[in-house]
Amino acid sequence: MAFLRSPFAPELPPALKGLRVTLRVPDTGDYSQWAELRGASRRFLVPWEPEWPSNDLSRTAFRSRVRRYWRDVEEDFAYPFFIYATESRRLLGAITLSNVRRGVAQMGTLGYWIGEPFARQGYMTEAVGLMLHFAFDHLQLHRVEAACLPANAASVALLRRTGFQEEGLARAYLKINGQWRDHLLFAHLGVGGNAAGGL
H or E stretch covering 19:
none
Per residue in 176-197, is it b (16+ CB within 10 Å) or e — as a string?
A: beeeebebbbbbbeeeebebeb
The pLDDT confidence band at residue 11, using thresholds 50, 70 and 90, is low
The alpha carbon of 112 is separated from its chain's Cα centroid by a whole number of angstroms, namely 3
- Going by the DSSP 8-state scheme, the letter that residue 134 receives in this structure is I
pLDDT tens-digit map of 75-130: 999 999 999 999 899 999 999 999 999 999 999 999 999 999 999 999 999 999 99
State the amino acid at position 135 in one-letter form: A
| pLDDT tens digits for range 149-189 | 999 999 999 999 999 999 999 999 999 999 999 999 999 99
- Indicate the angle between helix axes 123-133 and 153-161, nearest 10 degrees: 50
Contact 85, 20 (CB under 8 A): yes
Cβ atoms 163, 131 nearer than 8 A: no
- For the cut 70, the answer to whether the pLDDT of residue 4 exceeds it is no
> By percentage, how much of the chain surpasses pLDDT 70?
90
With a cut of 90, say whether residue 20 has pLDDT above it.
yes
Please give the Cα distance from 132 to 37 (Å, whole number).
25
Superfamily of domain 2-144: Gcn5-related N-acetyltransferase (GNAT) (3.40.630.30)
| pLDDT beyond 50 at 70 | yes
Domain residue ranges of the chain, discontinuous segments joined by +: 2-144
